[in-house]
Amino acid sequence: MRTKEFYHSLKVDKDLCYGCTHCLQSCPTKAIRIVKGKAIIMENRCIDCGECMRACPVHAIYVEQDDFSQIFEYKNRIAIVPAVFIGQFSLKKSYEEIISAIKETGFTDVYLAEDSVEIINDIMLNDYNTGREKPLISTFCPAIVRLIQIKFPALVENIIPVKSPADATAQYFINQTGKKDIEHKETGIFYVTPCPAKIADLKVQSSNKKTLITGVINMNTLYNKVYHILEVKNKSKNTKPQAMQTALSAKILQWSLTGGEAENMKGRCLAIDEVHNVIKFLEKVEDGEISNVKFLELRACDHGCAGGVLMTENRFITVERIKHRASKLPKSVNKNINTKEYQNLYKNITNINIEARPVDSLDDDMEQAFLKMKKIRHLMCYLPGIDCGACGVPDCQTLAKDVVAKKAHLSNCVFIQRGMEKNYKLSPEHSIKIIEKIWGEKRLEKNCNKKGAENETI
């Protein structure tokens, strides 16, 4: 049975995109191509890390998200907010002020997503004590989980099968209040996300009815609303700040930062952030160059969720603020995980299946895969190897793979084109048509509106 496609939250605005190749070069999984002068995202390769969105100079890549007004369709409106959201605001603002401002935007209840990390940490430690192959890998970052599924399928078995804190906290809330309100659509649970990967992950779960979360709100959207309440409106002193519904601890506040998980695991644990760093490290793990590491905390963004593409504040300042707040809190919150309530939660959040979905496999037949690999090496002898991206593909090797997969032509390379023209194997007219197919019909035209521009020497 064919595995369902990934849901993707990253989209390209064709009206804004002009094919500048910034996204092409920044994508860690080579998921972007330029066709007719516009970027297209290959869905089977995209991990929704947001690097393309971060690199785009004209904001042509955007995140498809739920409309904030959707929360008002529900009587009970629950916000599940990551702790990094607290770090978006000055230390002069108390937890209570921030929570009160969130409620003023329309939510009736506010929980920190990391409220469930105590039981998640317990599950991870239990998994550590089993005989499973090490290093164990965290599931916290959905972009990294997808990265492993498509690029490092052999490491899928190393991933700890536990849901994200957002899912676990939603489940914990339902366990406390009962499912009646959810079933009668009186309660909506909304996760406020710092990155597009979490939107994509929760949306695909929602389509498969595997999550209790109703919708996903862009963190930047909520930040602007809360900032307006706290700073612009100059919040009324007569308004009594409301207490947070999550018992805070240093572990809860710092869990989503780089090192937040690794610090709470056993043995030799490494925390690696930024997706390109993660890829280089996993290549070493896959090749057997890394030994005696028991746990890997891997994050697609620099400094963990503090560096999420949907964050507003500078990541370094965010981390500083969170660590300062955490220094004044107890290390952890004691929760009795032996209760029936926690045991039910334990079962629900470990019910997760992660499958390998390799995209770099040349062919299911080993003999055919070997022959295709041989063709790729042969084609590389003709390609210049400078990875200019002028062919609309990230690099020469990827172009060679696309040619073998019959998704591109070797003549897409401008250097091959010039060589064919020189040897009279390709006409200049045909060469221009190839370029126009990649870069659009008007890409070779320059509009010289400036007076005297037509007389300039190029």
Q: Is the pLDDT of residue 89 over 90?
A: yes
pLDDT > 90: what percent of the chain?
61
C-alpha pair distances (Å), 60 with each of 52, 224, 249, 374, 418: 10, 21, 39, 38, 32
Among residues 316, 349, 382, the one where a domain terminates is 349
The DSSP symbol for 159 reads: B
Q: Do 299 and 389 sit in the same domain of this protein? A: no
8 A C-beta contact, residue 119 and residue 342:
yes
What's the pLDDT at 204? 77
Backbone angles phi, psi at 431, to 5 degrees: -60, -40
**Any domain includes 3:** no
Q: Do 42 and 79 sit in the same domain of this protein? A: no
Question: Within a 13 Å sphere around the CA of 144, how many CA atoms are in the beta-carbon half?
Answer: 31
Among residues 23, 39, 63, the one where a domain terminates is 63
Average pLDDT in the 211-236 region?
85
Average pLDDT, the chain: 87
**Which range of residues forms the domain containing residue 394?**
366-439
Element (H, E) at 160: none
> Which residues neighbour 182 within 8 Å (Cβ) at sequence distance 6 or greater?
174, 189, 212
Q: Do 225 and 307 sit in the same domain of this protein? A: yes
Confidence band for 338, pLDDT divided at 50, 70 and 90:
low
N- to C-terminal Cα distance for the chain?
A: 58
**Any domain includes 152:** yes
Average pLDDT in the 332-350 region?
70
Q: Which tens digit of pLDDT belongs to each residue from 291-300? A: 899 999 999 9
Q: Do 116 and 219 sit in the same domain of this protein? A: yes
Average pLDDT in the 252-279 region?
95
The least confident of 189-198, 204-213, 244-253, 372-381 is 204-213
Confidence band for 456, pLDDT divided at 50, 70 and 90:
very low
Q: Which tens digit of pLDDT belongs to each residue from 407-435? A: 999 999 999 999 999 888 989 889 899 99
Q: Do 264 and 158 sit in the same domain of this protein? A: yes
Alpha-helical runs (H) found in 132-218 = 142-151, 165-177, 180-183, 196-207
**Any domain includes 359:** no
Q: Do 31 and 152 sit in the same domain of this protein? A: no
What's the pLDDT at 235? 52
Q: Do 27 and 85 sit in the same domain of this protein? A: no
Q: Do 39 and 142 sit in the same domain of this protein? A: no
**Any domain includes 457:** no
What's the pLDDT at 319? 96
**Could you write out the DSSP letters of every residue in 35-56?**
ETTEEEE-TTT-----HHHHH-
Average pLDDT in the 227-239 region?
69
Q: Do 244 and 382 sit in the same domain of this protein? A: no
Q: Do 138 and 207 sit in the same domain of this protein? A: yes
Question: Residue 27: which CATH number?
Answer: 3.30.70.20
> Which residues neighbour 320 within 8 Å (Cβ) at sequence distance 6 or greater?
none
Q: Do 208 and 342 sit in the same domain of this protein? A: yes
Q: Is the pLDDT of residue 208 over 70?
A: no
**Any domain includes 447:** no
> Which residues neighbour 83 within 8 Å (Cβ) at sequence distance 6 or greater?
112, 113, 114, 252, 253, 254, 255, 256, 322
Distance, in Å, from the CA atom of 324 to the CA atom of 327, rounded to the nearest integer, reads 5
What's the pLDDT at 341? 64
In this structure, are strands 38-41 and 32-35 parallel, antiparallel, or unpaired?
antiparallel
Tokens 């004590």 label which residue?
129
Q: Which tens digit of pLDDT belongs to each residue from 308-324? A: 999 999 999 999 999 99
Q: Is the pLDDT of residue 336 over 80?
A: no
The least confident of 76-80, 111-115, 179-183, 441-445 is 179-183
Please give the residue that has the higher pLDDT: either 187 or 326: 326
The least confident of 258-267, 334-343, 363-372 is 334-343
Confidence band for 342, pLDDT divided at 50, 70 and 90:
low
pLDDT > 70: what percent of the chain?
87
Q: Is the pLDDT of residue 447 over 90?
A: no
Among residues 349, 374, 391, the one where a domain terminates is 349
**Any domain includes 409:** yes
Q: Cα–Cα–Cα angle for 194, 196, 198, nearest 5°?
A: 75
Number of domains in the chain: 3
**Any domain includes 172:** yes
Distance, in Å, from the CA atom of 101 to the CA atom of 154, rounded to the nearest integer, reads 46
**Any domain includes 86:** yes
Please give the residue that has the higher pLDDT: either 233 or 333: 333
Strand partners, 32: 41
Confidence band for 209, pLDDT divided at 50, 70 and 90:
low
What's the pLDDT at 167? 86
Question: Within a 13 Å sphere around the CA of 343, how many CA atoms are in the beta-carbon half?
Answer: 3
Q: Do 257 and 375 sit in the same domain of this protein? A: no
8 A C-beta contact, residue 409 and residue 6:
no
Please give the residue that has the higher pLDDT: either 200 or 318: 318
